[in-house]
Structure formats: structure tokens, C-alpha cells
């Protein structure tokens, strides 16, 4: 199971999660994690979001972070999905989703590591072009480590 932040403007139009530019980057990451194709990743992975509606554009560019009230309003949907699916692995994409499963903390302390057992939580940065986190070589290495973890946990092949 993969849990992201919220649908973006493109996802609202296509009605498909991670279908915009960030989704293309996520697909590339999942190929690096050992999925045969983007279609293989999407066939084998249930994709959910913390918030079910588009939170709008940020004045400085990119999408707004969903407000706490919207997260609270949508929490029952995610809880029901987790209860129903009982995933062995949850890929938490972006700070909002990571904080939902692990509490507050820095990406540098989380990406490249796994947490818990039932389910195992694997944090990833958000694949948005707005994020500058991957501009640092150490953070790109953390991402590479996280993708190896996903490969090992999901045992592709």
C-alpha cells in the first residue's frame, strides 16, 4: 500500500492517483525498486491519500499542504482502508503521510530506513518537482536505500 498526501489538480481530472509529473517520477522510482513496469507497480499496489480532495494551489507554486481539518475529516477513510487491506508494507510518501505513521521528524532521519513490523513503514520523499530535498547527494542516497528496502520487502520477480 502507498499513502500520499492528496490528489493534485491533474489527478482530479484523470481520477487516477499520481498521474501527473510527480506520478511519472514515482513510477521511475518504482522501476528502480524492482517493479517490472509502472503498470506492474500500480497493479500490485493499492494507492491511497491522506486527504481525498484537491487542497488547491499554493500562492508560491505547487499544491497547498492539506489543512489539519481536512486531514481529520478524511482520516476515517484511510483507517478503513488500512483495516480492510491490512497491508504488510506501507510506503508513506511525503511528510504528511510519514507523520501520520511515524509522528513528526526529519526526512533525513527516516528516508532509507524502515519502521515497524505490522505493517512495515517505508518513508519516501514526495516526488514533486517543487521539492528540493533530492538536490543533495546524501538525500539521493537515502532515496536509493529506501528503494532497495521496497524491493526487498515486496520481493519482485
- DSSP labels for 64-100? PPPPHHHHHHHHHHHHHHHHHH--SEEEEESHHHHHH
Q: What is the mean predicted confidence (pLDDT) over 135-148? A: 97
97 CB neighbour count, 10 Å cutoff: 25
Asked if 93 contacts 87 with a C-beta cutoff of 8 angstroms, the reply is no
Q: What is the mean predicted confidence (pLDDT) over 8-13? A: 82
Q: What is the mean predicted confidence (pLDDT) over 123-141? A: 92
Asked whether residue 156 carries a pLDDT value surpassing 60, the answer given is no
Asked whether residue 157 carries a pLDDT value surpassing 60, the answer given is no
pLDDT in tens, 70-92: 999 999 999 999 999 999 999 99
**Dist. CA 154–CA 117, nearest whole Å:** 14
pLDDT in tens, 112-128: 999 999 999 999 999 98
Domains of the chain: 2-154 (3.40.470.10)
Amino acid at each position: 500500500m502507498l499513502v500520499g498526501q492528496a490528489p493534485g489538480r491533474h489527478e482530479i481530472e484523470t481520477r487516477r492517483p499520481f498521474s501527473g509529473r510527480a506520478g511519472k517520477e514515482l513510477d521511475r522510482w518504482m522501476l528502480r525498486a524492482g517493479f517490472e513496469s509502472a503498470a506492474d507497480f500500480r497493479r500490485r499496489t493499492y494507492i491511497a491519500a491522506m486527504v481525498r480532495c484537491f487542497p488547491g494551489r499554493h500562492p508560491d507554486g505547487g499544491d497547498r499542504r492539506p489543512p489539519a481539518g481536512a486531514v481529520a475529516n478524511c482520516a476515517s477513510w484511510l483507517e478503513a482502508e488500512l483495516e480492510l487491506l491490512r497491508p504488510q508494507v506501507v510506503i508513506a510518501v511525503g511528510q504528511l503521510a510519514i507523520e501520520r505513521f511515524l509522528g513528526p521528524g526529519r526526512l533525513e532521519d527516516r528516508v532509507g530506513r524502515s519502521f515497524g513490523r505490522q505493517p512495515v513503514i517505508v518513508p519516501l520523499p514526495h516526488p514533486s518537482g517543487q521539492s528540493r530535498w533530492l538536490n543533495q547527494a546524501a538525500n539521493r542516497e537515502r532515496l536509493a536505500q529506501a528503494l532497495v528496502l521496497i524491493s526487498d520487502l515486496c520481493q519482485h520477480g
